[in-house]
Amino acid sequence: MTTYTAPIEEMMFLFDNLRDNKNYNQLEKYKEINSDLVKDILEQAAKINQEIILPLAKIGDESPCVYENGIVRSPPGYKEAYKKFIEDGWTSLSCDPKYGGQGVPKTVSTFFEEMLSSSSLAFKLYSELSIGAYNCILSHADDKIKEKFLPKIVEGKWSGTMCLTESQCGTDLGLLKTKAIKQKDGSYKISGQKIFITSGDHDLTENIIHLVLARTPDAPAGTKGISLFLVPKLIVNDDGSVGSRNGVNTGSIESKMGIKGSPTCVLNFDNSIGYMIGAENKGLNSMFTMMNLERIVVGIQGLGISETAYQNALAYAKERKQGKANNNKTNETDFIIKHADIRRSLMNMRSIIEGERGLAFWLSQQVDVSLNHSDEKIKKSAADIVSLMTPVIKSFFTDMGMEITNETIQIFGGYGYTKDQGIEQLFRDNRITPIYEGTNSVQAIDLVYRKILNSKILEEYISQIDEEIKNCKDNKDLDLFLERVLKYKEILINFTSWLKTKQSISKDDISSACNDYLKVLGYVSLSYSWLRMLRVSYEKMSTNKSFFEEKINTGKYYFDKILPRAESHYIAGITGSESTMKANFN
């Protein structure tokens, strides 16, 4: 079984030193969220994750969910763990106190999301979609719906799902066929089938609240004719109590490569009673509230699994003996941690993980501002930055998760390939993250066509990088890093200009370059994250010399060894699509 220790010191470093968004610091509702409180939350979070949730990862993989006699049963130990999980209030952490939540900001709850992902992604998925459903209902439902459904979701007694995909449509939701017929009482009868529904049915909660995309009879074709409906598994009476079974049934659960402790369901809606959320034919807009925040959380999944992989690779490298290192002056076999190539692998992991965590923390401040600031202009500006970075966090973090879990298997060698150590499970569990919530290629296309070619959001982001460069100019220790940031920022700008020149010439050139462009933005974004951390590390050196010296060395490694990858993606991207489109696949 894998081991895991929550990186609380790393998280507190960010919270104490890089909570520097002035708009975030204007949010009155978070004034009382201080360092002592956050450390206490993280320590309690570490305890439940390390002691109770981590063992569930192996259990869920070896004894997956089963579907029998119309009932989906969770793996052994999941019910007891979930009961403890909701009793301790973890589902309510970031929710509005009006509905029973604790009102903790994203700057804190993001750390908890990472810990959960590190411990057991399969277990995490039972509550994760519930928070997504909560956010969607909170933003778009009327007060009656909110008061009826949100308190139980916040409490964790009811869970939530998002039901988009059908057999004929995944990415292209304009093809969906599920129907919604209005009734005299204002409710709707929903009929259709949804597939790949995470936590679509299970035995952990007394009710499941499905958010379902469907069409009304006279709806326009395509995505312009999609509405959103709340469909409970069990009817909820006017007094809030649970009544009879709604017309929602599980057809089957998928047999999967990973996250086996989480049921991925085929759901059949047969004249199910549902309630419209938001305006008719505007359902996709409402669902994006859930999907966009969920995509960031998926990126955090990649980060969390990467952290566990790194910790186990490091521990194994310290205890496994093989061969002699180059500086070996004895006849004794060395621990593999002494071999330069193993150290390279470990530093690749560490420098990427710490950069990602810093970037996620920076973005969490933007999310909090976008949701809570009183100034609409500031709110929109933050929302734009979140919109720009969402596909980057989702795709880049999960792709890096595949690289890191793959590299961890390599460090373990044959033992990584077998099931005994649990390392191959990290690779399998992470493999879904580049796929669900919009595949990474779709995210890259969305980034380029919607965020880069048709808006000026990138200019706002680059202005924030420029502001950080100004903050660093007086520190000579940062000169080399500043030089690198400026170089790769220029590459990003040149790549962006190249894309824009191709708009009227060749869309195939643009499409073939989207993945490379996202990677360039990802690596440059991590360099921005590292520059911020390095500035603080030099400023705070005297307070914790060993910690900050290691932080600086890791940052230097990122700039020396990882950031140069961006240039190769730029060079590949601007070669265009001629050979790609000319290929004969007959």
Q: Which DSSP string corresponds to 315-332? A: HHHHH-B-S--TT--SSS
Contact (CB, 8 A) for 156 and 194: no
Annotated catalytic residue within 113, 166, 424, 437: 437
Phi, psi (degrees; rounded to nearest 5) at 266: -95, 120
Strand, helix or coil at 69?
Answer: coil
Phi, psi (degrees; rounded to nearest 5) at 450: -95, -35
Please give the Cα distance from 5 to 202 (Å, whole number): 29
**Which residue from 318, 327, 209 is spatially nearest to 273, judged by alpha carbons?**
209
Show the tokens assigned to 130. 């519930």
Please give the Cα distance from 196 to 265 (Å, whole number): 6
Residue 133 burial (CB < 10 Å; 0-12/13-18/19+)?
buried
Contact (CB, 8 A) for 243 and 235: yes
Please give the Cα distance from 337 to 544 (Å, whole number): 25
The three-state DSSP-derived secondary structure of 465-504 is HHHHHHHHCCCHHHHHHHHHHHHHHHHHHHHHHHHHHCCC
Please give the Cα distance from 332 to 322 (Å, whole number): 10
From residue 455, give the alpha-carbon distance in Å to each of 32, 366, 459, 498, 537: 36, 18, 9, 16, 35
Show the tokens assigned to 214. 């469907």
The amino acid that residue 243 corresponds to is: G
Residue 124 burial (CB < 10 Å; 0-12/13-18/19+)?
buried
Question: How crowded is the C-beta side of 19, counted as CA atoms within 13 Å?
Answer: 21
Please give the Cα distance from 277 to 212 (Å, whole number): 10
Strands (E), 74-222: 158-163, 179-182, 188-198, 207-214
Q: Which residue has the tokens 């005297």?
A: 542
Show the tokens assigned to 437. 């919530």
Contact (CB, 8 A) for 267 and 250: yes
Strand, helix or coil at 212?
Answer: strand
Contact (CB, 8 A) for 293 and 226: no
Please give the Cα distance from 476 to 499 (Å, whole number): 35
Contact (CB, 8 A) for 34 and 80: no
437 given a catalytic annotation: yes
Please give the Cα distance from 297 to 178 (Å, whole number): 27
Please give the Cα distance from 190 to 213 (Å, whole number): 10
Which active-site residues does the annotation give? 437
